[in-house]
Each structure stands twice: as structure tokens, then as C-alpha cells.
Amino acid sequence: MTTHRSDKEQFSYLSLLFASSARAAALRALLIDPHPSYYQRQLEAATGLPLRAVQREVDRLTRVGLLFKRVEGNRAYYQVNMEHPLFPELRALVMKTAPSSLRLRGAAALDPAVRLCILSGLRDRALVVCRGGRRLALESPGIVLDVMSSESFLQALAEGGGGPVESYLREGSDLLGRRDDVLWRHIEAAGHDVRKEPGVP
């Protein structure tokens, strides 16, 4: 059995459980990284669903209290209510049915030490940049982790020279999408344009 088929089968378990592939896709997009606020077009891109389906699902999830909604201008933003009594169990289901790259993204998203997580081009390794002096509580779901402090990362970036950091930045994909972190300014100043992993806002 190929990994691709296995990932599809795992996602179909979630779809069957919720009797709606659209709801399963929306839950996956929202619960993998529950911290950010997402607007509908971001969820459309993250899920591959038509906008109408996204609107229907976020409306249902908002009515049951799993999402908070706020409106700014003509744009509605949705954020996961992590205090909802079903949040831990729903997120655990989503994480168990996700492929290894999404499980890594989900673990990195909730680890306060992680600033940056870049999946290698071959998808078998990930560069994790964390705050100096912080203990990393991240577990690797079948992906080898190359862990660096922010200071070491910035030093390697400044030195250039085609080392492992350069390889990640040239061929890898951003798993977190937190482009407001100052590390991304250094990455862009060094001439790198790292693509986001599909589904990352």
C-alpha cells in the first residue's frame, strides 16, 4: 500500500465519521493549527472546497460554538474555540487521521518553543527553529527533525554557502505560515522565497 493511498484512507475515516467530506476538510484545516484566525478564502484555499461549502461548514461549526466569528469590514474571520469541551477530542481525531507532514505541523503549531518549521523537498526531514534555551516538546511522526536555535539559524543563514539550511530554504516548504515572525524578514533579505505547504494560510 502506498503512503498516498494510506493518507487518503485515513482522511476517509474522518469523512465517514462526520458524514461529510466538506466538514472533515474544514475541521482538518482549522484544527491542525487552531491559533490563527482564518477568513473564508483562506479556508477555501486550504481545503480545496468551493466557497459555498466553506461558508456552510463554518456557519455550522460557529453555531455549535467550536468557532468564534468576528467581522472586519466585509471579511469574516473564524478562530477555533480551544475552550470548547469537544476541542481536545476533535483535534485528536484530526491529528490521528492526518498524514505525517500535517501531524508534524499540528505538533509544531502548539509548541510555544517553535518559531519555524520547514519540510524538506523529499518530505522525510524537517528543519525546526526554536527559541534559544527552550526545551522542544515536539515529537516527530516519522520525519527526522533537524533542530536549531534561532541564533544558530540566523548565523547559518548569514554564512550562506549552500549548507543544510540553504537546502531547506531552496527546496523545502513552510509548514506553519507564520510570516510575521522576524525570522522571515531575514530569510527574504537573504534572497529566499520559500513556498508554503499546501493548506497553510
Report how far residue 84's alpha carbon sits from residue 30's, in angstroms, rounded to the nearest whole number: 14
Average pLDDT over residues 119-124: 94
Report how far residue 36's alpha carbon sits from residue 173's, in angstroms, rounded to the nearest whole number: 19
Residue carrying the nine cell digits 493511498? 5
Residue 3 has pLDDT above 50, yes or no: no
Q: What percent of the chain has pLDDT over 70?
A: 88
Terminal Cα-to-Cα distance of the chain (whole angstroms): 31
Report how far residue 41's alpha carbon sits from residue 75's, in angstroms, rounded to the nearest whole number: 9
pLDDT category, 8, cuts 50, 70, 90?
Answer: low
Helix (H), strand (E), coil (C) string for 48-78? CCCHHHHHHHHHHHHHCCCEEEEEECCEEEE
Task: Tell me the pLDDT tens digit for each residue of 73-102.
Answer: 989 999 999 999 999 999 999 998 888 999
Instruction: Give the phi and the psi of residue 39 in degrees, each rounded to 5.
Output: -100, 165
Residue 15 has pLDDT above 60, yes or no: no
- Helices then strands (H, E): number in the chain? 9, 8
pLDDT score at 175: 95
Q: Using a cut of 0.75, tell me whether the model's pTM lies above it.
A: yes
pLDDT score at 21: 85
Task: List strand residue ranges (DSSP E) for the chain, in order.
Answer: 38-39, 67-72, 75-80, 114-119, 125-130, 144-149, 173-174, 195-196
pLDDT category, 2, cuts 50, 70, 90?
Answer: very low
Q: Is 13 helix (H, G, I), strand (E, B) or coil?
A: helix
pLDDT category, 144, cuts 50, 70, 90?
Answer: very high
Sheet holding 75-80, edge to edge: 38-39, 75-80, 67-72
Domain boundaries, the chain: 3-96, 100-196
Sheet holding 173-174, edge to edge: 144-149, 125-130, 114-119, 173-174, 195-196
Rounded to an integer, what is the distance from CA 15 to the centroid of its chain? 20
CATH class of 3-96: mainly alpha
Answer yes or no: are the C-beta atoms of 199 and 177 closer than 8 Å. no
Average pLDDT over residues 48-68: 92
